[in-house]
Structure 1
Amino acid sequence: MVGNAVYWNEAGAPEPETSRADLPREIDVAVVGAGYTGLATALHLARGGRSVALFEAGQIGHGCSSRNGGMVGPSFHKLGMTGLTAKYGETRAYAIMQEGMNALDHFEAFVADEKLDCDLQMRGRFRGARTVADYDAMARECERLNSAVGLPFEMIAADDQRTEIGSDFYRGGVVYLRDGGIQPRKLAVALAAKAREAGVLLFSETPVTGIRRDGRGSELRCGGSTVRARDVVVATNAYADRRTDAMHSRVVQIETGAVATEEIPAALMAELSPKGRMFGESGRIFMWYRPTSDGRRFIFGGRMGRRGCSAEERAAATKKAIVRVFPQLAEIAISHAWSGEVAYTPDHAPHLGFEDGVWLAGGYCGSGVTRSLYFGTKLARRILGAADSGTAFDDLPFEKVPFKPFSRLVADLMTRWWAWQDMRDLRRRG
């Protein structure tokens, strides 16, 4: 039977130690949301001399920070160079794409400098092309990114792809040489430990039920208590609700899921992933997948299965996509299945800044591991009034989602439409 549990939690570090003190009556900065963004922001603020309290409605890292695929890379804008150039012009497009490289450089340096135990393995990512047209489009985009921001890549022809992946499904693909993977739960736990060492008060199972701004700062309601803060950071991202409406009103929450296989024989693992790469594919509704850090299982994820489906339904839907790529896994069972929310924005870009009386960072559009630590650092520096706090996203307006109450329905309908288009393309490729 498939376990309705997050694999990373069982294979990760123990639950972080949180504060046993009473809630403070006053604090310099209150951070709402204890995922990567909130933890990184709180850590840098505390090191900058501010008193900081971090409030989490569930357990530390409960949301996407423990549920994601643990894949790191430049996290380029969803529109690509062509789409960005058409929308903002070439100079601005280059600047936005450069931020992806900056975020990755920051992430790697931060993990190394802080000695964070998160199983960082920079082994690259193979992205398979479902069609010949996809392969050609990948090559053109990678050439533009290499010219613009120095992205290292290697195109892999279909005849050579067995050196990268144990599958004949794709029509070739590209290897992104600067990509890699982490154990996401371990990163959340390591960040929490660093934040606590810096003096951050961590309060789990402490939902903020309201935020009221006045002339002296903000007042946060936490159960029967009230906390006054000079500044408030809302870092709830896809787990925002009306209680943190400044974020909630600006993102579309989309449910995505993931599964873990049972342990796979070593010889088969070597066949499926000869170089221990991360994996992805072209398409509108695509699957990502990767070996676990210990190389004994595979994790697969994407928008397979209907919203709110059971663990068994999600495992079955994902298994269909798995065997399309890896027929060798037809008899390998799924041991874990889970789901979570990711936050998309109307302009497909992440954002940070000051909106509706609070500081915000989020809207990562499914690519938040490297961005979240980078944005957390930049946001903290901005609050502290420190230099080097700017990004290319700063003057992109963080617009509210039109017709927000219907956004989930629209997202579900669009997902079905894109999935149908993907199936049509696969049928046509022969």
Structure 2
Amino acid sequence: MQTLWTLTSGPRPTFGNSSLPARCDTVIVGGGFTGLTAALHLVKAGRSVVVLEADTLGEGASGRNAGFVVPNFAKADPATVRAKLPSARADALLRLVAGGADAVFATIAEEAIGCDAAPTGWLQPAYGADMAETLKRRAADWRALGHPVDFLDAAEIARQTGMTIYAGGLIDRSGGTIHPLNYLLGLATAVARRGGTVREGASVSRIEKTGHGWRVEGPTFAVEADSVILATNAFTTGAASRMGRTGVPLRVIQVATRPIDAETVTRIAPDRRPVGDTRSNLFTYRLDRDNRLVSGGMAIVPFGALERVGRAVADRLVHELGLPRHPGIEIAWSGTAIMTPDFLPRLHVLGDGFFGGIGCNGRGIAMTAQLGAVLARLALGAPAEAQPIPVRPLRPLPLHALTPVVTAAALAHARFEDWRRGGT
């Protein structure tokens, strides 16, 4: 599928012809942000690594998102995490998550990845006075952990967004935006440059224990390794099936408008900060390097959703931002995110030396930078129980095939609640 990022990525390297060794230290199944970040950490530690991607790089969520770098939780905050985990474990996870954007931008700088990196910060405007009070407490909790988060009053949020419907909002100064496909390809190039092997078109059908580690097989290859990392996000086919069924898949439709004028840019994004508000029917927007507006939404009814929801998202941008004219749609595309039942990331130990990680919950770029690093530490021999991400049993959700129906009902309810409260 074509996306804004495929249209603007420039020449891309290919990894389909890499010869595979018979054996390596670690095989990583999945060539998205998580898998390639883990690979980069491992090759920098001197380990031999093979990354196996079933499709071409970027065909999954890592190449289909909107490029927001947001180092927090979409459906949780420090107080929620502390209610779910013991105090020391909660604070360790919070500090890990808070460092996600810094980790992304540090890797971009260290590996000289050209991906339109813009560490401008991230805005979360509060819809309603009650939510403004919630964000004030949330900002204070993050600041107590040393994270650069502040609460902005209604006047400053209006200056930052051109919108007067908000009662204030949170700014996370470590957030920002990137070109996600160029970032992904930059990670793969860095892994290969440092001696790792990245292979596209390498679907894994079987992973089995051997006397000396693990054997990873596909239709045309077999690689043995001391350890295996499963980094397959929401995919539920082949070797990814067990882990992918532990969360709720969300199909998100993204839209990029045609470029908007400089005067409007100055009014709605004077500091070019990405925005995601607090309404149940989330309103988001960011600018790309050419001043296209990028936003997204989900469909209650899946049939014909790309065109229908794409138009609705673009129309909402015009309405919410008071655009002087409809910019038109340059391209719309879709991707799949995954939500875990507790909205927290999680590790799975699938055997001696076999690890999986999942659960970015809508914060895929920043969270994968940390999840990949933790998975690499496990492959290097660190104990799973000592990691800041909780280790959970691998339990597929009952009636997983029906989760899209539940998601559609929840989205319909969210839209009704926003309408009832006066939102759009």
Q: Deviations over 1:229-277 (max 9, x none)?
A: 3322111112343432332232221111110010111122222211111
| Match among 347, 351, 356 for residue 346 of structure 2 | 351
Deviation of 1:173 after TM superposition, in Å, equals 2.3
Q: Distance in 2 between matches of 1:353 and 1:329?
A: 50
| Match among 30, 34, 39 for residue 37 of structure 1 | 34
Is 1:63 aligned to residue 60 of structure 2? yes
Any conservation in 2 of the 1:37–1:373 contact (CA below 8 Å)? yes
Note closer, same or farther for the CA distance 1:22–1:282 as it changes in structure 2 (3 Å cut): same
Q: Distance in 1 between matches of 2:156 and 2:25?
A: 57
Any conservation in 1 of the 2:73–2:361 contact (CA below 8 Å)? no
Q: Distance in 1 between matches of 2:94 and 2:265?
A: 34
* Counterparts of residues 339-378 of structure 1 (less than 5 Å): 339-355=334-350, 358-378=354-374
**AA aligned opposite 1:183:** H
Note closer, same or farther for the CA distance 1:9–1:100 as it changes in structure 2 (3 Å cut): same
Any conservation in 2 of the 1:77–1:349 contact (CA below 8 Å)? no
Any conservation in 2 of the 1:287–1:303 contact (CA below 8 Å)? no
**SS of residue paired to 2:422:** helix
**SS of residue paired to 2:312:** helix
Is 1:122 aligned to residue 145 of structure 2? no
Which residue of the partner structure matches residue 24 of structure 2? Answer: 27
Any conservation in 1 of the 2:53–2:199 contact (CA below 8 Å)? yes
| Match among 97, 104, 108 for residue 111 of structure 1 | 108
Any conservation in 2 of the 1:314–1:337 contact (CA below 8 Å)? no
Q: Distance in 2 between matches of 1:144 and 1:26?
A: 47
**SS of residue paired to 2:225:** strand
Choose 315-324 or 381-390, whichever is displaced more. Answer: 381-390
Note closer, same or farther for the CA distance 1:145–1:242 as it changes in structure 2 (3 Å cut): same
TM-score w.r.t. length of structure 2 = 0.91
TM-score w.r.t. length of structure 1 = 0.90
Note closer, same or farther for the CA distance 1:374–1:308 as it changes in structure 2 (3 Å cut): farther
Any conservation in 2 of the 1:353–1:379 contact (CA below 8 Å)? no
Any conservation in 1 of the 2:215–2:224 contact (CA below 8 Å)? yes
The aligned length equals 423
Stretches of structure 1 lacking an aligned partner (at least 5 in a row): none
* Counterparts of residues 15-414 of structure 1 (less than 5 Å): 15-18=12-15, 20-76=17-73, 78-88=75-85, 90-157=87-154, 159-292=155-288, 294-304=289-299, 306-307=301-302, 309-328=304-323, 330-355=325-350, 358-385=354-381, 390-395=386-391, 399-414=395-410
**AA aligned opposite 1:31:** I
Choose 61-70 or 411-420, whichever is displaced more. Answer: 411-420
Q: Distance in 2 between matches of 1:392 and 1:240?
A: 26
**SS of residue paired to 1:212:** strand
Note closer, same or farther for the CA distance 1:392–1:308 as it changes in structure 2 (3 Å cut): farther
Q: Deviations over 1:59-86 (max 9, x none)?
A: 1122111111211132236321332233
Any conservation in 2 of the 1:131–1:426 contact (CA below 8 Å)? no
% of aligned pairs identical?
Answer: 26
**SS of residue paired to 1:219:** strand
Note closer, same or farther for the CA distance 1:240–1:13 as it changes in structure 2 (3 Å cut): farther
Any conservation in 2 of the 1:351–1:398 contact (CA below 8 Å)? no
Stretches of structure 2 lacking an aligned partner (at least 5 in a row): none
Note closer, same or farther for the CA distance 1:356–1:410 as it changes in structure 2 (3 Å cut): farther
